[in-house]
């Protein structure tokens, strides 16, 4: 069986560059923006614990599966599954699962770019000194004004999308490495500085209790969101990590690398939460405030400490870069696929895909202002409406896309990939690609992919339906 395929899109110079790129993909708005607000909404400790369990038992095996599928096939996700399935004597239709994943990635990018735009906007606002000496109420109102203005959000959403598309158009392998080598370590340092600051607020232990006190009655409510977010945070379930695996040099060990990336990503999420909640409590803000949590609490902190203005600018620059390196990995799978399948140039493919995501993203822009009242899936005292203007419950456009991608498509994509690596590819192909010397570790990896992760995903879905 051939194991010496070559990627037409280039390869990373070394295993370290893969680690950098994969960490760049995983660490992003998911850890810094989304994780803390979800912890807030789903009630603290129970959510955190389930998130950690899902990372270890489901997320890491899926990440392993994606990387080894990608590296063996050295092609875009849909083509990778097709080629490997045919090689192993199975149906080429497996590629449909990966295709659905690549579309999911584009849907995620549509709203990811809008929030990435918020962080760009905040770089300027911080630098102008808009937050100097603000009160919590004022920061809340400030954020409210930002998202109430569709033109402002559209402007930054456009800029963010363009910045991501430029790198993709040039080819990921060339564009990503130089920027990430310095910025990722700096981001870690900055988050640690924030953590140090939050220890001085006098509310640090309150934050710790909020994040780690376990309330069993909240488990069922937060289970599916926690699993969905474990996928989101690790960038797995759509082929992002798979396409980066496709550019990975042959001779580097996969499992150790993957566990390292997962640990880094989880570490950033936890530290971001620990840094944020004490500030939230010190400012008397509401932890379950939702998507605005970071954009309200942090400017308040930066606005009220020495050198806060400068630190705030640096922080939002780093967040924007972290978001940008994640956005790239959302676009790359479909770009690689279309480059492989068509004669259109990489630049044109990138342009049209980025434009499509940008257009869909306008829906998210409007859900914070002119379409705020447009509600989908409304359940009104047992009466179900698919769509209703001005309903009290239901989901707005952003909510629908977020729900559909994180809670349904990512876990299904992950299920497809682990089952593929565990059952379809064949034991020998997996052994060859993993090249783990210890038989025990190999057996453990295979066991996680064959049984633990798939059953885990199905159990969480079942628990949600039964709830």
The residue at minimum Cβ distance from ligand TRP is 30
Give the nearer residue to ligand TRP in terms of CB position, either 312 or 413: 413
CA-angle at 112, arms to 197 and 37, nearest 5°:
40
Residues 306 and 150: beta-carbon distance below 8 Å: no
| Residue 446 binds ligand TRP, judged by CB under 6 A | no
Give the nearer residue to ligand TRP in terms of CB position, either 139 or 183: 183
In this chain, which of 329, 350, 364, 367 binds ligand TRP, going by CB under 6 A? 329
| Residue 108 binds ligand TRP, judged by CB under 6 A | yes
CA of residue 383 relative to chain centroid, distance: 34
| Binding residues for ligand TRP, total number by CB under 6 A | 18
| Residue 240 binds ligand TRP, judged by CB under 6 A | yes
In the complex, minimum distance from the CB of residue 349 to ligand TRP, in angstroms, rounded to a whole number: 18
| Residue 326 binds ligand TRP, judged by CB under 6 A | yes
Q: What is the 3-state secondary structure (H, E, C) of the chain?
A: CCCCCCCCCCCCCCHHHHHHHHHHHHCCHHHHHHHHHHHHHCCCHHHHHHHHHHHHHHHHHHHHHHHHHHHHHCCCHHHHHHHHHHHCCCCHHHHHHHHHHHHHHHHHHHHHHHHHHHHHHHHHHHHHCCCCCCCHHHHHHHHHHHHHCHHHHHHHHHHHHHHHHHHHHHCHHHHHHHHHHHHHHHHHHHHHHHHHHHHCCCCHHHHHHHHHCCCHHHHHHHHHHHHHHHHHHHCCCCCHHHHHHHCCCCCCCHHHHHHHHHHHHHHHHHHHHHHHHHHHHHCCCCCCCCCCHHHHHHHHHHHCCCCHHHHHHHHHHHHHHHHHHHHHHHHHHHHHHHHHHCCCCHHHHHHHHHHHHHHHHHHHHHHCCCCCCEEEEEEECCEEEEEEECCCCCECHHHHHHHHHHHHHHHHHHHHHHHHHHHHCCHHHHHHHHCCCCHHHHHHHHHHHHHHHHHHHHHHHHHHHHC
| Residue 374 binds ligand TRP, judged by CB under 6 A | no
In this chain, which of 204, 232, 281, 316 binds ligand TRP, going by CB under 6 A? 232
Residues 111 and 368: beta-carbon distance below 8 Å: no
| Residue 238 binds ligand TRP, judged by CB under 6 A | yes
Kindly write out the interface string for residues 19-48 of this chain, putting x where it contacts ligand TRP by CB under 6 A and - elsewhere: ------xx-xxxx-----------------
In the complex, minimum distance from the CB of residue 185 to ligand TRP, in angstroms, rounded to a whole number: 18
Kindly write out the interface string for residues 404-423 of this chain, putting x where it contacts ligand TRP by CB under 6 A and - elsewhere: ------x-------------
Kindly write out the interface string for residues 77-106 of this chain, putting x where it contacts ligand TRP by CB under 6 A and - elsewhere: ----------------------------x-
| Residue 134 binds ligand TRP, judged by CB under 6 A | no
Give the nearer residue to ligand TRP in terms of CB position, either 28 or 140: 28
| Residue 291 binds ligand TRP, judged by CB under 6 A | no
In the complex, minimum distance from the CB of residue 330 to ligand TRP, in angstroms, rounded to a whole number: 5
Give the interface segment with ligand TRP, choosing from 165-173, 217-225, 229-237, 442-450 (CB under 6 A). 229-237
In the complex, minimum distance from the CB of residue 407 to ligand TRP, in angstroms, rounded to a whole number: 12
| Residue 67 binds ligand TRP, judged by CB under 6 A | no
| Residue 266 binds ligand TRP, judged by CB under 6 A | no
In the complex, minimum distance from the CB of residue 233 to ligand TRP, in angstroms, rounded to a whole number: 5
Give the nearer residue to ligand TRP in terms of CB position, either 111 or 204: 111
In this chain, which of 330, 424, 436, 446 binds ligand TRP, going by CB under 6 A? 330
Give the nearer residue to ligand TRP in terms of CB position, either 122 or 300: 122
Q: Which residues bind ligand TRP (CB under 6 A)?
A: 25-26, 28-31, 105, 108, 232-233, 235, 237-238, 240, 326, 329-330, 410
């Amino acid at each position: 069986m051939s194991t010496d395929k070559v990627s037409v899109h280039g390869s990373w110079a070394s295993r370290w560059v893969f680690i950098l790129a994969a960490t760049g993909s995983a660490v992003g708005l998911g850890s810094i923006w989304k994780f803390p607000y979800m912890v807030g909404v789903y009630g603290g400790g129970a959510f955190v614990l389930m998130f950690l369990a899902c990372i270890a038992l489901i997320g890491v095996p899926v990440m392993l599966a994606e990387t080894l599928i990608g590296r063996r096939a050295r092609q875009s996700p849909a083509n990778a599954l097709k080629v490997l399935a045919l090689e192993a004597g199975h149906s080429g239709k497996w590629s449909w699962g990966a295709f659905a994943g690549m579309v999911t990635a584009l849907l995620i990018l549509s709203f990811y770019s809008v929030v990435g735009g918020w962080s760009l906007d905040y770089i300027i606002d911080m630098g102008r000194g808009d937050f100097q000496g603000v009160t919590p109420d004022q920061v809340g109102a400030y954020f409210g004004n930002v998202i109430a203005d569709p033109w402002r959000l559209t402007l930054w959403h456009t800029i963010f999308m363009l910045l991501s598309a430029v790198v993709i158009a040039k080819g990921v392998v060339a564009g990503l490495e130089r920027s990430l080598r310095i910025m990722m370590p700096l981001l870690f340092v900055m988050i640690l500085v924030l953590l140090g600051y939050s220890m001085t607020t006098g509310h640090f232990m309150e934050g710790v209790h909020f994040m780690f006190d376990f309330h069993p009655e909240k488990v069922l409510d937060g289970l599916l969101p926690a699993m969905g977010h474990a996928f989101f945070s690790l960038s797995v379930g759509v082929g992002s990590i798979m396409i980066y695996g496709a550019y990975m040099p042959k001779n580097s060990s996969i499992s150790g690398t993957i566990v390292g990336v997962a640990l880094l990503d989880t570490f950033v999420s936890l530290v971001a939460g620990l840094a944020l909640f004490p500030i939230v409590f010190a400012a008397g803000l509401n932890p379950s405030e939702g998507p605005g949590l970071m954009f309200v609490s942090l400017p308040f902190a930066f606005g009220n400490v020495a050198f806060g203005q400068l630190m705030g600018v640096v922080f939002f620059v780093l967040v924007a870069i972290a978001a940008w390196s994640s956005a790239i990995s959302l676009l790359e799978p479909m770009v690689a696929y279309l480059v492989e399948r068509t004669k259109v140039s990489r630049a044109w493919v990138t342009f049209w895909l980025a434009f499509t995501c940008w257009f869909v993203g306008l829906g998210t822009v409007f859900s914070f202002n002119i379409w705020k009242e447009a509600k989908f899936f409304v359940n009104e005292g047992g009466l179900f409406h698919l769509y209703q203007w001005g309903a009290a419950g239901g989901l707005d456009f952003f909510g629908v896309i977020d729900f559909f991608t994180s809670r349904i498509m990512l876990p299904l994509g992950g299920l497809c990939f682990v089952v593929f690596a565990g059952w379809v590819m064949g034991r020998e192909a997996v052994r060859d690609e993993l090249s783990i010397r210890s038989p025990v570790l190999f057996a453990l990896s295979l066991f996680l992919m064959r049984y633990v992760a798939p059953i885990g995903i199905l159990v969480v879905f079942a628990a949600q339906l039964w709830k």
